[in-house]
Structure 1
Amino acid sequence: MTYTLLALIAVPVALVIDLVVVRTRVVLTLQWWIAYAITLAGQFAVNGWLTGRRIVTYDGSTILGTNHQRFMGDWRIFYAPVEDLGFGFALVLLTIVSWRWWSARDARRPASD
């Protein structure tokens, strides 16, 4: 399975978990999108550093574009393959959804003093 296909699966799975399975509906809030924009800036910086310096490399046959290092273009954004955006979105969303779900679950439990 390619990195591209996995990224295309990860985003809808994360959205379904948020909107349908646990119903936290995080992605429907302005708070989420502001937090995600801040996270995305950090992701660009870290991905750019790691892939631009070739600390992390990708097999060109598993991503969109080629394995040539480019700052922008050829399906790369700040040196990283565009697929990293999908994975980053899914990972951050699932982390926040889990946090919200567990927090709400704990709040519903009676205190055991």
Structure 2
Amino acid sequence: MSYTLLAAVAVPVALLVDLVVARTRVVLTAQWWIAYAITLAGQLAVNGWLTGRRIVTYDDSAILGSNHEQFMGDWRIYYAPVEDLGFGFALVLLTIVAWRRWNAAADRRRATGR
């Protein structure tokens, strides 16, 4: 399975978990989008440094575009393949959803005295 396909699956799965399974509805809040924008800035900086220096490389057949060092274009953003944005989004969203669910469960336990 290619990196592109995995990224294309990760985003809708994360959204499904947030909106339907866990029903936390994190992505419907302004707080999420502000926090994600901050996270995205850091992700782009780190990804750009790692891929721009060729510390991390990708197989051309697994990503959109090519594996040439390119700052922007050819499906690259700050040297990193665009698929990294999908994975980062899914990873951060699922982490926040899990955190909110666990906190809600802990609040319920405290309320019932268990």
Determine if the TM-score, normalized by the shorter chain, exceeds 0.5.
yes
Task: Tell me which protein shows more helix as a share of its residues.
Answer: 2
- Give the aligned CA root-mean-square deviation in angstroms: 0.6
What is the DSSP-based 3-state SS (H/G/I as helix, E as strand, rest coil) of the residue aligned with 2:61?
coil
Equivalenced residues, count: 112
**TM-score (structure 2 length as normaliser):** 0.97
Measured in 2, the distance between the counterparts of 1:27 and 1:100 equals: 12
Cα shift at 1:21: 0.2
Whether 1:29 and 2:29 are equivalent positions in the alignment is yes
Tell me how far apart the structure 1 counterparts of residues 113 and 86 of structure 2 sit (CA, whole Å).
Answer: 39
Percent identity over the alignment? 79
Structure 1 portions without partners, runs of 5+: none
State how far apart, in whole Å, the 1-side matches of 2:39 and 2:113 are: 35
Matches of 1:52 and 1:66, distance apart in 2: 13
Give the whole-Å Cα distance in 1 for the aligned partners of 2:65 and 2:34: 30
User: In 2, Cα distance between the equivalents of 1:51 and 1:95?
Assistant: 24
Give the letter for the 2:23 counterpart.
Answer: R
Instruction: Report the counterpart of residue 79 of structure 2 in structure 1.
Output: 79
Separation (CA, whole Å) in 2 of partners of 1:101 and 1:26: 11
